[in-house]
Structure 1
Amino acid sequence: MGPSGAGKSSLMNALTGFSTKGVTGSIRAGDSVCELKPKGSLNSLKAYRKKSCYILQDDRLNPLFTVAELMKFAADMKLGDTLTDKLKLSVINEIINTLGLSGSENTRCACLSGGQKKRLSIAVELIDNPPVLFLDEPTTGLDSSTSAQCMQLLKNLASNGRTIVCTIHQPPASVYSLFDQVYMLAEGMCIYHGASENTVPYLASVGLQCPRYHNPADYILEIATGEYGKFNEFLAEKCLNHVWAEKPAILPVPDRISEVISLGKTSVIINPPHELYKFGKLFKRCILQQYRDWTVSHLKLFMHMVIGVLLGLLYEKAGNDGSKTVSNLSFLLVSTVYLCYTSLMPAVLKSK
């Protein structure tokens, strides 16, 4: 948590390995350790990224595909051909039912609500079952009710054995109480690190009494922004000397995961898909996307016909007259330039 400019996104980028320039130290996730060095090997970083996923603030979903199609494509790219289509469909249905998207399988992403898009972004990353999930402000752009539902969903995922790390700006009291651990940032310094229910007692112990019926998250944010004075350096020093973070309880491993672990050598090893397999899936998706995009399938076809007729009339009988050799070259040049620029038309229309 923290106000704008406190360093939340910078810290998140460092924890996810998304930004390694000027970052040193180590990241520990379970038994794995990722060393961040300026000129170190990238093997540990690649292995760490395979065990975690980073869900950005903006939902980058293709609006032309349905929920089921997007999940199927993600399963193909993440799981490859190790699992059969039947097993992939079983994994997809389980994730969709868990995240409450069971009634929207055939709905295109462009028609989904903000909360559904956020749940779909989480569902896509859960395909390969990463143990650690990072989210950058998942409640941005959502109303209070949808934000509470989204955070409750993340709480349920965390209770099933996953580690959920997210940044948030100003949560309501109902959402703040869901957090197991809070790391409060202000001006790049940590002013509180502990359980959410210990926020008010900690502030009271250092002489900052939270008013009754006041949201603890709002109060500590007001302190971080300096509304009650400059206490950030003081709290940062106190945070190093006093430990208010209760050790999280060891969560029970879900039965399904326990069964997979107990299988030992008989468990299925998911190999990354080979390049030819990914090329085939990407080519199929590209063809389907062009077919559904009216700017490609309808408008460009109409423009090709019109431009073809105009060029034919403009350079009529140019190939039969030797004195019009320059016109032949002009025709080839105009045709080439036209095809180059029309290929950029969908991107230009989308940016508009």
Structure 2
Amino acid sequence: MGPSGSGKTTLLNLLAGRLSASSNLNGSGSITINGKKRNPGSFKKLSAYVMQDDQMFAELTVEEQISISAILRLPNKVSKAEKKRRVEAVISELGLSGVKQSFIGSETKRGVSGGERKRVSIGTELVTDPSLLFLDEPTSGLDAFNAQNVVQTLVRLARNGRAVAMTVHQPRSNIFSLFDMLLLLSEGQIVYFGSAKDALPYFSQLGYECPEHFNPADYFLDLVSIDSRSPQLERNSRGRVLYLHRSYNEALSSKEGDMIKQNEISPKIEEEPNQETDVTDIHKYAYPYWKEFFLLCNRASKLLVREQGVSIISAARTMITAILLGLIWLNKGRNISSTNYMDIEGILFFIPINQSFISIFGTIFTFPLERSIVLRERASGMYRVSPYYLSKTLVEIPRSIIFLLVFCAVLYWMVGLRDSASSFFLFLVVNFLTSLTAEGIALTVSAGAPNPKIASAIVPLFLVVSALFGGYFSQIPNYFVWLKYMSFMKYSFGAFMHIQLDDFQFQVPVSDCTVCDGNQVLSTSGMTDFSLGGNIGLLVTIMMIFRISAYLMLRIRGPKYDRNL
């Protein structure tokens, strides 16, 4: 316990082996488990960590969330029936039996209460039956009733043989009374560590008597907080904290060793595996690769089906956009001549812009939340990156194809584009590749950017540059020519132009036109540098580059912890 910035979460992360490799902290001393030095492999198996924010999919039920964790994290040799029994036991232990079929929900989607959601987070980690349970401010954001329920749940877990360590900022007195041990921090320094019930007598001996009927937790925080309202108050409070820290150091004695021995954790690991085994084990996953993939596909499918509101809005948007564009360019493709062929160029250039905006902004506003969930699950060792990424990509393809098919069918025939089944099929394929490419850009930026705001600021740059150099504007300064070959819209536009105008004859006398057929339009528009196949091939190449980049970003930006601390 301690004021904001006192080092609570840093210490918890250090003890839990969750300190970021980029923290650049230098540590000294050692961390032991029942007197034996901690090492990564065995420690990861006997401990669990519950983050402050409850990062879970709102569309999953309580039982589904805990079941997925059990299936992915319990050893593959454990039978399905045993895993199911373990899930039921955890749900019962956490008092969630009455809501196990309820959706988890979120701030915007109705679901279980905040306290129940926190207990689901705990249950997600509890399925592995850890001896050590770390929690970062589990009462944060909860009302008094739910906060007390969560802490009472943790007390029951501790009474059943687990060591439970949690950070807390300013608990109510009835919550503080439930604590066994108290570590009080101020500016990274320990001012008290011992029995929670002995804290009041300890500070009283130092001359700091807690007023009667006053919350001890509030009083302790007042003692160890730095008051920066004035230079004099700041000097006084810093002097008090320094005195408390020195007093604690002086009070340390042999009793400390006795206290540690009395609080040993459940002896589930009598022997420490050798270091080589541990380093290997930390990289292993409990579930086989292909089973991970199918389970994640199943989860992604459920999430997709349950996003009914998003699907309905997307379907309506698709129809409205297709009809609106169709009305603007109604029948323009049925009477192409030397005087109006630029109308067709306009719609063929606007289509990839439209598809790109829909795909990019549909991803940039939804993926960051999913990314935070994936980071939490990966930090717990639930699954590899590649099966998650493949499952996400493959599950979303059918819905994308359905929406594209509706969009293309309505727009294609309203505009009156080339009357050929093969042309329509190629038109659909290029639209699909354009969407995949734009989505790949959004995934890459979202996975690589520190937060959604930065991602949403970067993505428009890709769209603007790609549109400016997408081939519609033929007069480009020489120093920008190279950019047009990096524009994926250039290849989408080029492919559309070839699909519609290759060997296409205008229905006008040759004597009445300067541009008399589709091939001449392609030539005057600068579309002859790549054939239809060349444009599609280059579009596929760019799509693969961004899709692979998104995967690599997910790996690079994944959780990395300093094993030396």
The 5 A counterparts of 1:44-63 are: 44-45=39-40, 47-63=42-58
Q: TM-score, normalised by structure 1?
A: 0.82
| Higher Rg of the two aligned structures | 2
- 1:1-352 to structure 2, matched below 5 A, reads 1-19=1-19, 20=21, 21-25=24-28, 26-30=30-34, 33-34=37-38, 44-45=39-40, 47-79=42-74, 81-110=76-105, 111-225=111-225, 229=237, 230-243=239-252, 247=259, 249=262, 272-313=286-327, 314=329, 316=331, 318=333, 321=336, 324=341, 326-327=345-346, 329-330=348-349, 333-334=352-353, 336-341=355-360, 343-344=362-363, 347=366
Which deviates further from its counterpart, 200-209 or 61-70? Answer: 200-209
Q: What letter corresponds to residue 163 of structure 1 in structure 2? A: A
Q: Tell me, in whole angstroms, the C-alpha distance in 1 between the residues paired with 2:5 and 2:357.
A: 46
Q: Which has the higher helix share?
A: 2
Residue identity matched to 2:321: I
2:50–2:135 CA contact under 8 A, matched in 1? yes
332 and 85 in structure 1: CA distance in 2 versus 1, 3 angstrom threshold: same
Q: Deviations over 1:248-285 (max 9, x none)?
A: 6467969xx89xxxxxxxxxxx9611222212111111
Q: Given the superposition, is the C-alpha separation of residues 252 and 225 from structure 1 closer, same or farther in structure 2, using an over 3 Å criterion?
A: closer
Q: Report the CA distance shift for 1:88/1:181 in structure 2 as closer, same or farther (over 3 A).
A: same
Q: Could you say which residue in structure 1 is the equivalent of 2:426?
A: none
Distance 1:285 1:320 in 2: 49
Give the counterpart letter for 1:326 in structure 2.
Answer: E
User: If the length of structure 2 is used for normalisation, what is the TM-score?
Assistant: 0.53
User: Where in structure 2 are there 5+ consecutive unaligned residues?
Assistant: 106-110, 228-235, 270-283, 370-451, 454-565
CA shift in 2, pair 1:311/1:170, >3 Å: same
8 A contact 1:66–1:108 mirrored in 2? yes
Which runs of 5 or more residues in structure 1 are unaligned?
35-43, 259-269
Mapped to 2, the partners of 1:82 and 1:100 lie a distance apart of: 28
The 10-residue stretch of structure 1 (48-57 or 286-295) with the greater mean CA deviation from structure 2? 48-57
Shift of 1:79: 2.1
Report the counterpart of residue 473 of structure 2 in structure 1.
none
- Displacement, 1:238? 1.3
Deviation of the 1:106 alpha carbon: 1.0
Partner-residue secondary structure (3-state), 1:62:
coil
State the 1:68 CA deviation.
1.1
Per the TM alignment, residue 185 of structure 1 is displaced from its structure 2 partner at its CA by 0.5
Structure with greater strand percent: 1
Of 303-312 and 191-200, deviating more is 303-312
What whole-Å deviation, never above 9, does each CA across 1:276-298 have from its counterpart, x for those lacking one?
Answer: 22121111111111111134321
Aligned residues of 1:6 and 1:185 also touching (Cα < 8 A): yes
* Residues 331 and 210 (structure 1), Cα distance of their counterparts in 2 relative to 1, 3 Å cut: closer
In the comparison of the two structures, how many residue pairs are matched?
A: 331
After the TM superposition, which of the residue ranges 59-68 and 200-209 deviates more from structure 2?
200-209
Does the residue aligned with 1:59 lie in a helix, a strand or coil?
Answer: coil
> 2:124 is matched by which residue type in structure 1?
V
Q: How many angstroms apart in 1 are the aligned matches of 2:113 and 2:130?
A: 25
Return closer, same or farther for 1:316/1:96 CA change in 2, 3 Å cut-off: same
